[in-house]
Amino acid sequence: MTATTVDIGTGPDGTLVIRPTGSLDDADAVDLQRALVHAIRHTRPLRLVVDLVAVGDLDPINLGTLAAACLLGDEHKVAVFLDHPRQLIADRLASAGVPAHRVRHVSDGIPLPGR
């Protein structure tokens, strides 16, 4: 990814957590798609969390990628959640067709403590 970084880790309960940082634009789309598809199709955790706490903005391509990841997760029996988006991003995700129960812990744009 260009000006972004992605950290991938596993929580104590086996949840796979992907944490992109920065603003995701069209140059980042392929890398984000690859990470999500690999996680869902090959790693196949019970839960996949994309933690958006440090994401400043998402372009339409990446919004569609996250919406598609939720559907792909359903097909492969992986629960995909999008955590800590800013309200503007949460609104865009809803417009892209992401179900409300997939978007959790929406923030008002103020970084969470320790992040």
pLDDT, tens only, 11-56 = 999 999 999 988 888 888 888 999 999 999 999 999 999 999 999 9
Q: How far apart are CA 100 and CA 61, in angstroms?
A: 19
- Residues 5-104, CATH architecture: 2-Layer Sandwich (3.30)
What 3-state class would DSSP assign to 110?
Answer: coil
pLDDT the model gives residue 110:
58
Query: Is residue 7 pLDDT above 80, yes or no?
Result: yes
Q: What per-residue confidence (pLDDT) applies to 28?
A: 82
* Residue pLDDT, tens place only, 60-93: 999 999 999 999 999 999 999 999 999 999 999 9
Token pair for residue 68? 């598609």
What is the reported pLDDT for 115?
47
